A = this chain, B = another copy of it.
Amino acid sequence: MAVCFSSPVKLKSIDHFTLLFNPKPKNNTNKPIFKCNASVTTTATEPQPLFTSVKTFAPATVANLGPGFDFLGCAVDGLGDYVSLRVDPSVHPGEISISEISGHSKLSKNPLWNCAGIAAIATMKMLNIRSVGLSLSLEKGLPLGSGLGSSAASAAAAAVAVNEMFGGKLNSEELVLAGLESEAKVSGYHADNIAPAIMGGFILVRSYDPLELMRLSFPQNKELFFVLASPEFEAPTKKMRAALPAEVMMPHHVWNCSQAGALVASVLQGDLAGLGKALSSDKIVEPKRAPLIPGMEAVKKAAIKAGAFGCTISGAGPTAVAVVEDEEMGKAIGERMVEAFWKDGNLKAVAVVKRLDRVGARLVGSIPR
């Protein structure tokens, strides 16, 4: 199915925002703060495609990170979604079609109802693409509803694919805004998955109006591994969000704030023990959500007992995420976490050990015109 930009897709926030920041290369680590203000303006002239086809990858992401609830996330390498995008003369100019989805059978090929499609449309609109038709193929590497930013990975890969196809004219923050269109539709207007999926590393979402993102650079000379234990269990974001309290006791607010500060400092200082401790310290969200995921509390205990620096729920779950500095040790810890999911939660689970992704969504292949 092809969709024209004059279709009824709502690009609410894009319509309402204007990007005021200067264009700069993606993944620029020198200037850690990015600001977008008011509405995104489309590029003045329509760019032409530089490629016949491009292929992009976008990583899984771990949002929340305990006390970083709803404003902090990071990218995880080696897990994610691929998007292949090609110029398709059979698609009406200015429209996009989803030709294939592999790795998941339930996803809609209607671009208006597909994360990749929505983000691609938003990006094409920003670029003012009117005279080229595109075909998109999505390879899902991430399961849905796992707490690993599955929708954000699809959206990020699609937004970056469209942008790369036309010469990379949009910067990271504009791409995050495009991805946010998709996130808003499927899981809420939250950038804590889509921002790190596009930009890599740790990203702090400072505000939405204007969108302001801070890159928290984990030191290049230090290693950081995540153990991700995913049980066969559905933890719908809606249900997990409904479990949250409307109000927070002041002492818990102060506690979580201080742990959030400690988490940020630990990331910037490359202090794994501090990071893990902060990860485990949430007194507000995790205590409400963990009981809804069978075995989660035992999994956390098992991970820490086995030597993880810390453990919490990844995103809204059900994946449990632990932090380690050594890959082999991470594998052993993953086994303990899987055992605990089985023993205490009666859930089958699989565990993987993955590095911090410092790059974010990227081009992995292209055929020049």
Which residues of A are in contact with B by a Cβ distance under 8 Å? 32-33, 67-72, 204-207, 214, 216, 244-250, 253-254, 256-265, 268-269, 271, 274, 284
Contacts and interface: CB of A to CB of B under 8 A. Distances in A.
17 contacts: A32-B265, A32-B271, A69-B257, A70-B254, A71-B261, A204-B258, A205-B258, A206-B259, A206-B262, A247-B248, A247-B250, A248-B248, A248-B249, A253-B253, A257-B257, A262-B264, A264-B265
A218 to B, nearest CB: 12
A253 B284 contact: yes
Among the interface residues A32, A214, A271, which one has the most CB atoms of the partner chain B within 10 A?
A: A214
B248 A253 contact: yes
Contacts of A67: 257
Copies in the complex: 2
Nearest to A265: B264
B72 A261 contact: yes
Nearest to A259: B206
Q: Which 4 A-B pairs have the closest CB atoms?
A: A71-B258, A247-B247, A261-B264, A257-B260
A268 B271 contact: no
Nearest to A269: B32
Contacts of A207: 258
Given A32-B271, A258-B206, A259-B206, A216 B265 contact: yes
A347 B254 CA distance: 32
Nearest to A277: B206
Contacts of A71: 254, 257-258, 261
Contact of A249 (B214, B246, B284): B246
Contacts of A274: 33, 214
A126 to B, nearest CB: 26
Contact of A264 (B70, B205, B245, B264): B264
A262 B259 CA distance: 13
Given A71-B257, A71-B261, A264-B264, 6 more contacts: A205-B258, A246-B249, A247-B250, A257-B260, A258-B260, A264-B265
Nearest to A216: B265
Contacts of A69: 254, 257
Given A257-B260, A265-B214, A271 B206 contact: no
A287 to B, nearest CB: 14
A34 to B, nearest CB: 12
Nearest to A215: B265
B254 A245 contact: no
Contacts of A72: 258, 261
A265 B268 contact: yes
B248 A250 contact: yes
Contacts of A262: 204, 206, 214, 264
A267 to B, nearest CB: 9
A173 to B, nearest CB: 16
A254 B284 CA distance: 11
B33 A261 contact: no
A213 B23 CA distance: 40
B256 A245 contact: no
Contacts of A265: 32, 204, 214, 216, 264-265, 268
Nearest to A263: B261
Contacts of A258: 70-72, 204-207, 260
B32 A261 contact: no
Among the interface residues A244, A247, A264, which one has the most CB atoms of the partner chain B within 10 A?
A: A264
